[in-house]
Amino acid sequence: MIRECEDHGYFRDEHCPICGEEGKFIMSDYEVEKMGRTMAGILRHGKFDLEMDEQGFVDIRDIIAVIKDHNPRMKWLRIHHVEALVETDPKGRYQISGACVRATYGHTIKLNLNLPTDNIPYTLYYPATSEECDIILEVGLLPSDRAMVHLSRSYRDAVRAGSVRVEDPVILAVDTFGCAEAGYKIGRAAKTVFLCDNVPPEFLSKAEEEDEDEDEYMDQEE
């Protein structure tokens, strides 16, 4: 559930993680899930054909109207409920700008997200199946079911992401410095997710967990 602490804002727990106060009830887990699913459909996949700008932003009021229309029990929904969901999302899946909101990753529609390219780790990771691994190492990484290639912040993040598809994913390492030097930009989408159009094979290799270095970052030219 989502609650709101008077002093520390929205949080997802029974009590504020900072001061321990119970806070004000905002939404139940069921309501958060229903709302999140609808927002993902709109912001990642263009469902309901709402007006969206080239960076993926949609007016929050339009999203609220759709959620209310399809969930009669959520007629109480207001803008601050969307703000609460976005601010407390553990994966940073959404971003609010003014009166609009967008998904930060997971799109199946092509957009110009204009993501920040600073503080990119020198190595990022991608989970592959054993069947596709050799092909990727030969031809490079290209988008499949999404509009952009999604890379993970750490080896462990890639394992978690890949486990959705296969029990024991093969983790590939991406040389982001080489990509940047060759003109292949990588953008920072969320806490553990980075996006790019593609990764040439010369910047890919099979990763070992001990290869991971979480302390080195690079900046790319905008």
* Confidence bin at 105 (pLDDT 50/70/90): very high
The CATH number of 29-103 is: 1.10.10.970
Tell me the pLDDT tens digit for each residue of 154-191. 999 999 999 988 888 999 999 999 999 999 999 999 99
If we measure between CA atoms, which residue out of 129, 108, 91, 92 comes closest to residue 42? 108
Global pTM reads 0.88
Taking each helix axis as running N to C, give the angle between helix 79-88 and helix 60-70, from 0 to 180 degrees, rounded to the nearest 10: 100
If we measure between CA atoms, which residue out of 136, 137, 111, 134 comes closest to residue 195? 111
Tell me the pLDDT tens digit for each residue of 12-28. 999 999 999 999 999 99
The CATH number of 120-218 is: 3.20.170.30
Which residue ranges make up each domain of the chain? 29-103, 120-218
Which residue type, as a one-letter code, is found at position 74?
M
Which residue type, as a one-letter code, is found at position 22?
E
pLDDT at 164: 86
Q: Which two structure tokens, joined as six digits, stand for 42?
A: 């709109």
Query: Three-state SS for 142?
Result: coil
pLDDT at 219: 58
